[in-house]
């Protein structure tokens, strides 16, 4: 059937009008985002959050949902947004600072109703570990579940529904009324509906994207292809420290490898507590349930300073403090300590008898596990405009 010139012109006009409407809609959406984020967020040109440049020797690949660039970008915005707390004062980033490898220099992090009961873990290579359990006491079994627990916590971000505080549904309503979330959810999910499942998906994808494989250790391993070999980019002390870390006490080492296996340096599954049992609130009150830890990568920043105190209670303020603990385990008040840390058929605590030189070598080696990119990469930075 042959269309008339008038009908053809009408169809062409309608198509142009629809295109203009779409362009105006996109321009309006982007202007909403620009008002909050400036040039930091552009839905047409998102950063690459999909895990890339993963060395071939890494055995554990990112767990959980597959990373989508736009969902991870939404997760980044949620991660830094203080409106996820009841009084608009606390965000996930308040306890996990990029400049500290997404950890906290404070022993206990500040929340809306007090301070946290445990030290905030560094969020480095969260997806590159054998376990799917999270928190120091492993109380949740997926990263998706973990990322909204601090929001629901009465002390941390406050949407607990306890003691007169708003509940989680109040947060969902609150976010759904914010114009930039209306734009973002509509773009990413096809509608403006804000749900906990969507928050969990996007936040967990952002956390999964945070990776660090550009350390001196990685350079040495790539140069040699041998976990136990002498690294040409290491000095004598660093190589000695690597030997001590990766060798059992029975063979002249410190045995750190028994729990923290390279090259991921994530803690193994089915590990019991490590003998650090005091709580932050009271050193005389004991907690034996802490069985997980963050990766040992990026304990220190590129300048060699700690990214925060160590252990669930922040009781060690230097790497040497930590090494001294493992060098001579005290069994006073211990329960459920991991058998790896015992001697004499489990009757006494581990006594490594490391020399001062060996202790220093372990410190030097652990510092080589820190990369540079994670501290400065814009894709993991705060997207909100200052002020």
For residues 18 and 50, the answer to whether their CB atoms sit within 8 Å is no
Residue 11 pLDDT > 70, yes or no? Answer: no
- Return d(Cα 295, Cα 97) in angstroms, integer: 16
Residue 349 pLDDT > 90, yes or no? Answer: yes
Higher pLDDT, 270 or 219: 219
Query: What pLDDT is recorded for position 337?
Result: 96
- Return d(Cα 338, Cα 155) in angstroms, integer: 31
Model confidence pLDDT, tens digit, residues 268-305: 988 999 999 999 999 999 999 999 999 999 999 999 99
Residue 236 pLDDT > 80, yes or no? Answer: yes
Long-range Cβ pairs for the range 331-338 (8 Å, 24+)? 331/275, 333/277, 333/286, 334/275, 334/277, 334/288, 335/273, 335/277, 335/286, 335/288, 336/272, 336/273, 336/288, 337/272, 337/273, 337/274, 337/275, 337/288, 338/259, 338/271, 338/272, 338/273, 338/274
| Torsion-angle region of 166 (φ positive above 0: left; ψ -120 to 50: alpha; else: beta) | beta
Query: What pLDDT is recorded for position 182?
Result: 97
Return the percentage of the chain with pLDDT > 70, whole number: 92
State in Å, rounded, how far the first CA of the chain is from the last one. 62
* pLDDT confidence band for 28 (50 / 70 / 90): confident
Tokens of 174: 């609150």
Residue length of the chain: 387
Of residues 141, 147, 158, the one with CA closest to residue 197: 147
Model confidence pLDDT, tens digit, residues 126-137: 989 888 899 999
Tokens of 43: 């839905």
Query: What pLDDT is recorded for position 16?
Result: 40
Of residues 274, 267, 282, 260, the one with CA closest to residue 108: 282
Query: What pLDDT is recorded for position 65?
Result: 61
Query: What pLDDT is recorded for position 131?
Result: 81
Of residues 86, 67, 64, the one with CA closest to residue 75: 67
Query: What pLDDT is recorded for position 273?
Result: 95
Mean pLDDT is lowest, of 60-69, 82-91, 331-340, 360-369, for 60-69
Which is it for strands 342-343 and 348-349: parallel, antiparallel or unpaired? antiparallel
- Return d(Cα 287, Cα 305) in angstroms, integer: 28
Query: What pLDDT is recorded for position 26?
Result: 52
Quick one: CA dihedral 148, 151, 153, 159, positive or negative? negative
For residues 279 and 313, the answer to whether their CB atoms sit within 8 Å is yes
Quick one: CA dihedral 32, 35, 36, 38, positive or negative? positive
Query: What pLDDT is recorded for position 64?
Result: 55
Model confidence pLDDT, tens digit, residues 107-147: 999 999 999 999 999 999 998 988 889 999 999 999 999 99
* Predicted structure pTM score: 0.91
298-317 average pLDDT score: 96
Model confidence pLDDT, tens digit, residues 148-184: 999 999 999 999 999 999 999 999 999 999 999 999 9
Query: What pLDDT is recorded for position 60?
Result: 81
The whole-chain average pLDDT of the chain stands at 91
- Return d(Cα 192, Cα 85) in angstroms, integer: 20
């Amino acid at each position: 059937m042959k269309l008339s010139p008038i009908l053809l012109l009408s169809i062409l006009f309608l198509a142009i009008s629809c295109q203009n409407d779409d362009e105006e809609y996109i321009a309006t959406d982007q202007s909403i985002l620009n008002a909050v984020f400036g040039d930091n967020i552009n839905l047409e040109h998102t950063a690459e959050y999909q895990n890339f440049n993963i060395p071939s020797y890494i055995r554990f690949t990112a767990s959980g949902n597959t990373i989508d660039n736009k969902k991870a970008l939404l997760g980044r915005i949620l991660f830094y947004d203080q409106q996820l707390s009841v009084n608009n004062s606390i965000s996930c980033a308040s306890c996990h600072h990029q400049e500290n490898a997404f950890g906290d220099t404070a022993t206990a992090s500040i929340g809306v109703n007090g301070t946290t009961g445990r030290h905030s873990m560094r969020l480095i290579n969260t997806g590159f570990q054998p376990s799917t359990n999270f928190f120091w006491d492993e109380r949740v079994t997926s990263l998706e579940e973990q990322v909204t627990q601090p929001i629901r916590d009465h002390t941390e971000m406050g949407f607990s529904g306890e003691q007169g505080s708003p509940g989680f549904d109040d947060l969902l309503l609150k976010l759904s009324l914010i114009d930039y979330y209306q734009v973002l959810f509509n773009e990413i999910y096809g509608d403006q509906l804000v749900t906990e499942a969507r928050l969990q998906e996007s936040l967990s994808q952002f956390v999964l994207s945070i990776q660090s494989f550009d350390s001196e250790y990685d350079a040495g391993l790539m140069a040699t292809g041998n976990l136990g070999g002498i690294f040409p980019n290491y000095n004598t002390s660093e190589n000695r420290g690597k030997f001590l870390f990766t060798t059992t006490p029975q063979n002249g080492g410190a045995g750190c490898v028994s729990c923290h296996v390279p090259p991921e340096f994530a803690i193994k599954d089915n590990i019991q507590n490590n003998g650090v049992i005091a709580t932050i609130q009271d050193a005389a009150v004991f907690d034996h349930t802490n069985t997980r830890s963050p990766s040992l990568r990026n304990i220190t920043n590129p300048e060699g300073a700690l990214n925060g105190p160590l252990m669930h209670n922040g009781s060690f303020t230097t790497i040497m403090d930590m090494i001294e603990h493992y060098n001579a385990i005290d069994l006073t008040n211990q329960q459920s300590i991991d058998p790896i840390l015992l001697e004499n058929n489990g009757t006494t605590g581990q006594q490594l008898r490391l020399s001062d030189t060996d202790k220093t070598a372990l410190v030097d080696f652990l510092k080589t596990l820190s990369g540079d990119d994670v501290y400065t990469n814009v894709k993991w930075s705060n997207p909100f405009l200052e002020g």
